[in-house]
Structure 1
Amino acid sequence: MASGVKLTPLAAIEKLSERIIRILGCNPGNHTLQGTNTYLVGNGKKKILIDTGSPDNAEYMRNLKKTLQDHNSTIQEIVITHWHNDHIGGIKDICTDILTDPVKISKLERKSVPDQDVSPGKYTFVEDKHLFTTEGATLRAIHTPGHTEDHIVLYMEEENALFAGDTILGESTAVFEDLHSYMQSLQKILDIKPNILYPGHGIVIENPVEYVTYYINHRNERENQILAVLQKNTGQNLSTLDIVTSVYVGLNPSLIPSACGSARHHLKKLVKDGKVELINEADEEKWTLVTRKSNI
């Protein structure tokens, strides 16, 4: 989640390694940073495309076509890291305007609700640890829920590299649906010890272990900041917005709803930990510190 930080400019098309070309989604914003990173992977004529950007983006489609033409390549298959529209949105246009024949479009299936229709494309649902292979590259899907329930990262064995989707972002921190799962997913990535991370948004991360450790420490620090606000107001019932205003000083107003969502995940975790109590006041969630009573 960006908060007014000046972002590093990214080229619309850039070859990042012998096997990887990044095509920027041309959809910059507070949540997408410079735009959604999509990647063509492999060093043969047929390449795997990771993610597809936002819908109805003519500039991205032109850049994707140009990249394929310049490298005399075609799309072997499409792999989706998760269901968000800035990652699946380009599927329909790719199927209509770029592909001459249907290709496999793979992702993990959402369990809570049906996956969105991407006609004329059609999803093939894969499981954790599924292997995708193309000339020069092998990608292993690793289920990393937290940002979304269906999120995967892709580990490329040949370069000890990880396509991190939205679990890790360059120059920013990620938002998530479930903090408990998210923290476990960060640990999974840390345990892999990749040499390099290619995020779904932002710059390439060349110090992954240090960077992911920062992410974990950042979440723990955020939890401590929330506890500090509640401790300062012991005995009072605070709204999520009250807490966010105290913790995220100077935050861009457009990002306040996301910050409230993030803080609420922390607060729900703290309720499970027995440190915070949820109070419902006139249909509004409020939070208060659990105070331990002495037995003396």
Structure 2
Amino acid sequence: MRSSIVNMSSVLPTIERLSSRVIRILGLNPGPFTLQGTNTYLVGTGRRRILIDTGEGREGYPALVKEVLQQQDCNIEHVLVTHWHGDHVGGIRDVCELQTDDTVSLFKFPRLSTRDETIGVNISYSFLNKEEEVFETEGATLRALYTPGHTDDHMAIILEEENALFSGDCILGEGTAVFEDLYDYMKSLQRLSALNPTKIYPGHGPVVENAKEVMEGYIAHRNQREKQILDVLESGEQSGYSAMDLVKVIYKDTPEHLHVAAASNVAHHLQKLCKENRICRSDVGERWTVSKL
């Protein structure tokens, strides 16, 4: 899943020039959690350009990419993959097959777990380390940033010429993002917010022009939920609360059939607070209490 279900405020063209050096190509995979589909971006102004993400391998996407390459009289030198999810990597083979004369180099951060990230015969990733790495092509300088949280391998990318951010699934054009690890996710959001990008090219949804406001909103939303959880734990039972106990207090106006999903969200907050030594497990089952300093 990528985001909460939202109402799309604008219809995105399948191909759209967003700036003198950025063209968005939709992955043709719309859905309740992918919005209008995965955004893939062709970046640069010269004969050799960089593609960010590849969609999920839907029929019709390779033809869109080929159309753009022919119109621009260019090819793809590098593919930067923001993270391992199938709707971002599924089109890699198709993109590579479009390049009849040149080999495409594929870059991403490795997963922390020992997962097989094999793509296919003669197609493999070059893995980045956690330091910033710069990719240059005519008209564009891209700085890759390790921003875990949504996934353990997540990459965000700064386009230096525009002070713009390719945010992957860390920040979306509409709705809010989901995450694997809230502790890491919040650190990544704070790091990106401190860079003060002028706009965001997200992994899903329209371009975000009010970048700072949106990032601060993401952070404030999570901080507000965290405060609600701490308030209950600090004023409640000494035996502690489970995630579902907290849901019944904090989400009391939410329909009960959504409580399981809400409990998963609360569990992420609890794990983050535990990493920060602000709460701990009680002696009674899967319950949590405020840490005694």
TM-score class normalised by the smaller sequence: 0.7 to 0.9
Matched, 1:133 2:136: yes
Q: Which moved more, 1:204-213 or 1:1-10?
A: 1-10
| Alpha-carbon contact 2:4-2:33 (below 8 Å) kept | no
Secondary structure at 1:138 match in 2: strand
Secondary structure at 1:158 match in 2: coil
- Within a 5 Å distance, the mapping from 1:65-84 to structure 2 comes to 65-84=66-85
- 1:17 maps to 19
- Percent of aligned positions with the same letter in both sequences? 47
Structure 2 residue aligned with 1:209, among 208, 212, 217?
Answer: 212
Deviation at 1:146, TM superposition (A): 1.4
Matched, 1:187 2:185: no
Change (3 A) 1:218 1:17: same
- 1:196 maps to 199
In structure 1, distance between residues paired with 2:258 and 2:70: 39
Secondary structure at 1:26 match in 2: coil
* Structure 1: gaps spanning 5 or more residues: none
- 2:266 maps to 263
Deviation at 1:20, TM superposition (A): 0.3
| Alpha-carbon contact 2:55-2:90 (below 8 Å) kept | yes
In structure 2, distance between residues paired with 1:18 and 1:24: 18
| Alpha-carbon contact 2:3-2:178 (below 8 Å) kept | no
Q: Which moved more, 1:230-239 or 1:208-217?
A: 230-239
Deviation at 1:253, TM superposition (A): 6.2
Q: Which amino acid aligns with 1:73?
A: C
For residues 59-78 of structure 1, the C-alpha deviation after alignment (integer angstroms, 9 at most, x for no partner) is 22222222222222211111
Deviation at 1:58, TM superposition (A): 0.7
| Alpha-carbon contact 2:44-2:137 (below 8 Å) kept | yes
Change (3 A) 1:213 1:261: same
For residues 145-166 of structure 1, the C-alpha deviation after alignment (integer angstroms, 9 at most, x for no partner) is 1112221111111111111111
Change (3 A) 1:253 1:48: farther
Secondary structure at 1:286 match in 2: coil
| Alpha-carbon contact 1:276-1:287 (below 8 Å) kept | no
Deviation at 1:110, TM superposition (A): 1.9
Deviation at 1:278, TM superposition (A): 2.9
Structure 2 residue aligned with 1:163, among 166, 171, 174?
Answer: 166
| Alpha-carbon contact 1:80-1:106 (below 8 Å) kept | yes
In structure 2, distance between residues paired with 1:35 and 1:246: 36
Q: CA RMSD in A?
A: 2.7
In structure 2, distance between residues paired with 1:275 and 1:81: 32
Change (3 A) 1:233 1:26: farther
Q: Which amino acid aligns with 1:181?
A: D
Structure 2 residue aligned with 1:227, among 225, 230, 245?
Answer: 230
In structure 1, distance between residues paired with 2:234 and 2:32: 31
| Alpha-carbon contact 1:139-1:154 (below 8 Å) kept | yes
Matched, 1:109 2:110: yes
Change (3 A) 1:71 1:130: same
In structure 2, distance between residues paired with 1:6 and 1:82: 25
Matched, 1:95 2:96: yes
Q: Give the TM-score of the pair, scaled to structure 2.
A: 0.87
Deviation at 1:81, TM superposition (A): 0.9
Change (3 A) 1:286 1:195: same
For residues 112-145 of structure 1, the C-alpha deviation after alignment (integer angstroms, 9 at most, x for no partner) is 2234211142111123211111110010111111
In structure 1, distance between residues paired with 2:69 and 2:256: 38
| Alpha-carbon contact 2:233-2:290 (below 8 Å) kept | no
| Alpha-carbon contact 2:52-2:81 (below 8 Å) kept | yes
Matched, 1:122 2:135: no
